[in-house]
Amino acid sequence: MIDGKKVIFSGMQPSGDLTLGNYLGALKNWVQLSDEYMTFFCVVDEHAITVRQDPATLRKRVRELMALYIAAGLDPEKNCIYVQSHVSCHAELAWILNCFTYVGELQRMTQFKDKSAKHADNINAGLLTYPVLMAADILLYQTDVVPVGIDQKQHLEITRNIAERFNNIYGDVFTIPDIYLGKAGTRIMSLQDPLHKMSKSDENDNATIHLLDGRDAVIRKFKRAITDSEAQIRYREEQPGIRNLIDIYCACTGKTPQETEKEFDGKGYGEFKIAVGEAVADLLDPLQKRYKEILADKSYLEGIMKTNGERAEYYARKTLRKVQKKVGFVEKIR
């Protein structure tokens, strides 16, 4: 709790252009929750460098992500939107928590296994300890609720385990956070391989809808989306491609899968795909307009980074000091 309000923390990596999956699975929920809570929404650039990044591109993406958070509807006066590397407490707490985390539990993380397979030439220690830095992010702000996509569930569980382990030794230092998954834990799948999640680092551009894709590109990608040969629009386990398109359509229009099945009863895949494309483009249109305006105003964005970075640091430092004291570090004379 901060100032009598429950705390929300979440973050995204500036590791590529945000996708429709990022928006429907996470960002949209953040906006919905932001009124009731004290919120921290972080651009996690330190996590991003677990995979090689070009420095100039990374710098650009951090600004773009800040602008997208705002364009998606997060008011930076009310929500603490900031950059992870601007608050050194994250890395400092991560080091301490590393000493309360077992290598075995980190090696069991699905994301670690997936990313090590994908980047076999660079299985660095940061890739392994990624969840510890994430735990530090969350625990620094005494977070109550973490809204993320379902793929992050395992990371939330390890965060809770680390916090409980620490609290068992030193008393109630950390709030134990809960995950918030939103509606049925929306998981948007790749348009080219519906058994894998839509991911911003996917090399196949047709697999992914980016939040900044224009209307034509959006519709073209949906037209090319992989479906099946059953030729009917039904929400079924056996039709993962169509199911994914129905999920996307429902998330954009507020309709239910049953209503969608009825709406497109007897219609072909072609017609349905165009309808999904239109619904997505309509959703993205206003967001893209706001985004362009915000990004163009460099000093506005910089001001927000500075003020909010300082705000975040104030709360983070409080928890870090408490932790340092608990583990036996000698207090720094100021």
Contact residues for ligand ATP, defined by CB under 6 A: 12-13, 15-16, 19, 21-22, 25-26, 148-149, 151-152, 186-188, 197-201
Residues belonging to the chain: 334
| Cα–Cα distance, 145 to 108 (Å, whole number) | 24
Give the binding range for ligand LTN (CB under 6 A) out of 11-19, 95-103, 251-259, 264-272.
11-19
| CB closer to ligand ATP out of 19 and 34 | 19
- Report the amino acid identity of residue 99: C
| CB closer to ligand LTN out of 76 and 177 | 177
**25 binds ligand LTN per the rule CB under 6 A:** no
Binding partner selected for residue 134 from ligand ATP, ligand LTN, none, CB under the kind-specific 5 to 8 Å limit: ligand LTN
Shortest distance, CB of residue 77 to ligand LTN, whole angstroms?
22
Please state the three-class secondary structure of 83-148 as a single string: EHHHCCHHHHHHHHHHCCCCHHHHHCCHHHHHHHHHCCCCCCHHHHHHHHHHHHHHHHCCCCEEEC
Give the binding range for ligand LTN (CB under 6 A) out of 132-140, 168-176, 193-201, 229-237.
132-140
Binding partner selected for residue 241 from ligand LTN, ligand ATP, none, CB under the kind-specific 5 to 8 Å limit: none
**127 binds ligand LTN per the rule CB under 6 A:** no
Options 113, 183, 200, 273, the catalytic residue: 200
DSSP structure class, residue 26: I
Options 197, 273, 298, 325, the catalytic residue: 197
Active site residue 200: yes
Shortest distance, CB of residue 60 to ligand ATP, whole angstroms?
16
Closest CA to 140 of 321, 328, 320: 320
Q: What is the DSSP track for 36-83?
A: TSEEEEEE-HHHHTTS---HHHHHHHHHHHHHHHHHTT--TTTSEEEE
| CB closer to ligand ATP out of 210 and 273 | 210
Active site residue 115: yes
Active site residue 223: no
Give the binding range for ligand LTN (CB under 6 A) out of 148-156, 162-170, 199-207, 296-304.
148-156
Radius of gyration of the chain (CA): 21
Residue corresponding to tokens 């990004």: 295
**166 binds ligand LTN per the rule CB under 6 A:** no
| Cα–Cα distance, 130 to 116 (Å, whole number) | 12
DSSP structure class, residue 222: H
Shortest distance, CB of residue 189 to ligand ATP, whole angstroms?
7
| Cα–Cα distance, 51 to 124 (Å, whole number) | 9
| Cα–Cα distance, 77 to 318 (Å, whole number) | 22
Catalytic residues: 115, 197, 200
Residues in touch with ligand LTN (CB under 6 A): 9-13, 44, 47, 134, 137-138, 146, 148, 152, 155
